[in-house]
Amino acid sequence: MSSEPILQVRNLHKAFGGLQALKDVSFDVHQGEIFGIIGPNGSGKTTLINCITGFIRMDSGKVSFRGKDISRQPPHKIAAMGVTRTFQIMRPYYTLPAYKNLIVPLFSSRARKAGGWRGGGRLGARDTVSIDILEEIGFERDSLVPYKLASTLPTGYLKRLEIARCLALRPEIILCDEVFSGLSMSEIASIIPLIERLQMDGITLIMIEHRLRELFRVTKRVMVLNFGEKLLEGIPEEVMADDEVKKAYLGSEEV
């Protein structure tokens, strides 16, 4: 593994009232890897993403990105550094065509700088960029899909739209909150190459998943959360073999 981790999480704590949602969670993510986080329902996976990206204020702990402390930053500043996220419950602008959905992230100064184009100068400049990005993530340019209203898109495309919003920001890290959930096998099969492409482009991915088999096809390293605590971290085979993980997560059932 490379020298310094791109994202470092140390002793993260978060409680909602009496409920300890995250307890002393620490892990490192390295540049260019796909890091998986798994755990049963209610184990604090989404809370972890929310804390890292600033959507929820953590009680204590430290998150650093490239050595810089981002634990007390507001979400938009964290996103502006390139630490982006998707939402488990997709949040597109349902009343807009798919490509108009990317106008908002393209409006940010990060997208403007990274894209090397002057936003707003030319009529429809953002529209063009947005269609390029959508093509990258699998919206066929010559089909009508990028121009359809988000409300009419199938789930698979909405998930891609979530990733596209991150891509519009030219991200360094994308935290994916259950990208595979709710998708059919064939849809997942078409998304996996996209994810591998993102990794090849040098983007670091942190994926929270329920669908272990699909996740293990792309990731080399996973962490297991249970009741807000880190159970262990390792390569998928190791994790699957661990008795405690089986007990906590899988029960007696095999995957």
Question: Cα torsion at 16, 20, 24, 25 (round to 10°)?
Answer: -80
The rounded distance, in Å, linking the Cα atoms of 120 and 253 is 55
Sheet with 83-85, side-by-side order of all strands: 68-69, 60-65, 7-16, 19-29, 229-234, 221-226, 34-38, 204-209, 173-177, 83-85
By CB under 8 A, tell whether 165 contacts other proteins: yes
Window 44-63: contact mask with other proteins (x via CB under 8 A): ---------x-x--------
By CB under 8 A, tell whether 239 contacts other proteins: no
Residues 65-94 that bind other proteins (CB under 8 A): 74-77, 79-80, 84-87, 91-93
Q: Which stretch binds other proteins (CB under 8 A): 96-104, 136-144, 187-195, 232-240?
A: 96-104
Q: Which residues pair with 22 in a beta bridge?
A: 14
Residues 123-162 that bind other proteins (CB under 8 A): 126
The rounded distance, in Å, linking the Cα atoms of 3 and 86 is 28
Rg over CA atoms, the chain: 18
Q: Which stretch binds other proteins (CB under 8 A): 32-40, 108-116, 195-203, 235-243?
A: 108-116
Window 182-211: contact mask with other proteins (x via CB under 8 A): ------------------------------
Of the two residues 110 and 221, which places its CB atom closer to other proteins in the complex?
110
CB of 105 to other proteins, least distance (A): 4
* Structural element, H or E, at residue 225: strand 221-226
Of the two residues 28 and 178, which places its CB atom closer to other proteins in the complex?
178
Cβ(160)–Cβ(194) below 8 Å:
yes
Interface ranges with other proteins (CB under 8 A): 53, 55, 74-77, 79-80, 84-87, 91-93, 96, 100, 103-111, 119-120, 126, 165-166, 168-169
